[in-house]
Amino acid sequence: MKNAEQRNTDPLAVEVEGLRYELDRPATRNGRKVVVSVRLAAGGDSAPLVDRADLYSFRQRHGLSVLVSETFARKPDEVMGALALLLDQVERLAATAKKAEPVVLTQARRTAGEKLLRSPDLLERAAHALDARGYVGEERNKRLVYLVATSRLLEKPLSAILFAQSGAGKSELLDRLAQLMPEESVEFLSRLTPQALYYAGADHLRHKVVLVDEQAGASEADYSIRTLQSRGVLRLAVPVRGKTESFEARGPIALLSGTTRDDLNPENLSRCLELSLDDSAEQTKRIQEAQRRAWAGERRKALDPVPWQDAQRLLEPCEVVIPFASKLAYPARTTSDRRDNMKLLSLVAAHALLYQQQRERDREGRVVAVLYDYKSVFELLRPLVDQELDGLSPRAGTLYRALVKQGAATFTTREAAALQGWGYNTAKRALAELRAHELLRLAESETPRRYALLDGSLLGNSAALTDPSELR
């Protein structure tokens, strides 16, 4: 088994001699069969071999190895060894994992969680909790990702993608967020295969936050992610030993991931909040100061995440009604604004859901949102609406706004890079994109080349949003 790829951290999957073996759940010794999926590790368009077997039964394990060897031209002994390795991983998982039992809150823990949920500044305290867990800066994004995670309890949850350069803190923000969520409500994935979500189990993903460390790791599962987000259910029919068997995975889910890329699938982006992380020099200084304080031994008082986890456990999945929704406006520029308008309403609903212990219920048991819910979301979303420049990547949009604000007649690539604290090549790519969108022109062709803005009128879209003062 020297070719087994140990870099794969999924205990329910293993790659051996060019084949990837995956289980839908851990195998047990009670005679219950598990779904085994086998495919070429290199990928491709070929469908995987899917079968059911009790892997603790030698006879069934041997029968499966013969089927795999005939399908993929492998030696049966080689397949038996791979299955043994997979069983070994499952047993080590069972030996070290915590029992997946419902968390029973003591009266003291319930009281602490309810106290948090009754805090008038609950969202602010959540952002401070993320700060206390070691994530400095990103005040707006900390609040938004917390609302997205809370929206998992809605019928149509939100999703978000964090855009930033490598090392900007995307993974760290997701890690800190997960620490404030109940363990049973978070599914962390480093990579998604095309059919992985179909075999997750009927209710395993229901009302969960799915964290994907890097969006590229989920690119193979774009279709299944979109379907689970929009329809809330996945269904797959596959042939198993001559019979057609169906697999179903139900949502809803709230998806959070990060990426360094600007060329993501537009179908997926339309369903997600696009959050650009702060890559300014000021944010870099904040991070450096925190690093120096840590090395100097100036440790903060550790924040106990358990009350926050329990507060989320005490939240109920429920419907939300926004009585003043018909009075809210949103920019109507392109068809993408149709979904963006829904994101605004969903954020208001997520905020009301978070404050459900402080909100009234209507006759149908729905949480009734109040003006404060909209006001909080308006303050968070207004800058993002201005950032959503039609057709521009987050990086190019950020530079465009900075150039408009600076108001310089002409500028070089290095000056643009210095303005944002970027590397030369990063600024060069952003300027090339702005030129492609006819927002820049070449003012001087001699080296160093100088550029000038052609159009600085794309900003100010947030003026179309309804100001909370108009609703009083």
Per-residue pLDDT tens for 284-315? 888 898 889 888 887 667 789 999 999 999 99
pLDDT of residue 265: 58
What is the band of 1 on the pLDDT scale with cuts at 50, 70, 90? Answer: very low
371, pLDDT greater than 70: yes
90, pLDDT greater than 60: yes
Pairing verdict, β 49-53 and 243-250: unpaired
Query: Do the beta carbons of residue 151 and residue 157 sit within 8 Å?
Result: yes
Pairing verdict, β 34-40 and 19-23: antiparallel
Please, which residues have CB within 8 angstroms of residue 295's CB and are 6 or more apart in sequence?
none
d(CA 254, CA 157): 5
CB atoms under 10 Å from CB of 143, counted, come to: 20
pTM of the model: 0.72
Looking at residue 84, its amino acid is A
Pairing verdict, β 233-240 and 208-212: unpaired
What is the band of 8 on the pLDDT scale with cuts at 50, 70, 90? Answer: very low
d(CA 99, CA 101): 6
pLDDT digit string, tens, across residues 375-394: 999 999 887 776 666 667 77
Going by C-alpha positions, the residue among 339, 329, 335, 338 that lies closest to residue 374 is 329
Lowest model confidence (mean pLDDT) among 58-62, 102-106, 191-195, 459-463: 191-195
Token pair recorded at residue 34: 């598990």
Q: What angle do CA 163, 167, 170 make, to 5 degrees?
A: 40
pLDDT of residue 6: 38
372, pLDDT greater than 80: yes
pLDDT of residue 268: 58
d(CA 308, CA 468): 29
Token pair recorded at residue 182: 């109940």
CA 410 → CA 199, 371, 451, distances in Å? 56, 44, 5
pLDDT of residue 119: 97
Tell me the percentage of the chain whose pLDDT exceeds 70.
82
Rg of the chain (C-alpha set): 25
- State the average pLDDT for the chain: 84
Going by C-alpha positions, the residue among 49, 42, 46, 38 that lies closest to residue 14 is 38
pLDDT of residue 199: 67
Give the dihedral sign, CA 285/291/294/295: negative
Give the dihedral sign, CA 211/212/213/214: negative
Q: What domains, with CATH codes, occur in the chain? A: 13-96 (3.10.20), 107-314 (3.40.50.300), 395-453 (1.10.10.10)
For the chain, the 3-state helix, strand and coil shares in percent, each to the nearest 5, are 45, 15, 40
For helices 139-150 and 371-387, the axis angle rounded to 10 degrees is 120
Looking at residue 32, its amino acid is R
CB atoms under 10 Å from CB of 348, counted, come to: 25
pLDDT of residue 305: 94
pLDDT of residue 2: 38
Q: Give exposure, 299-337, as e/b (b: 16+ Cβ within 10 Å).
A: eeeebebebbbbbbbbbeeeebebeeeeebebbeeeeeb
Please provide residue 192's backbone torsions phi and psi, each rounded to the nearest 5 degrees.
Answer: -115, 125
pLDDT of residue 385: 77
What is the band of 231 on the pLDDT scale with cuts at 50, 70, 90? Answer: confident
120, pLDDT greater than 50: yes
DSSP 128-152: HHHHHTT--S-HHHHHHHHHHHHGG
DSSP 163-230: E--TTSSHHHHHHHHHHTS-GGGEEEES---TTGGGGS-TTTTTTEEEEESSGGGGGGGHHHHHHHHH
CB atoms under 10 Å from CB of 192, counted, come to: 19
**Tell me, what DSSP letter sits at residue 361?**
B
Query: Do the beta carbons of residue 144 and residue 380 sit within 8 Å?
Result: yes
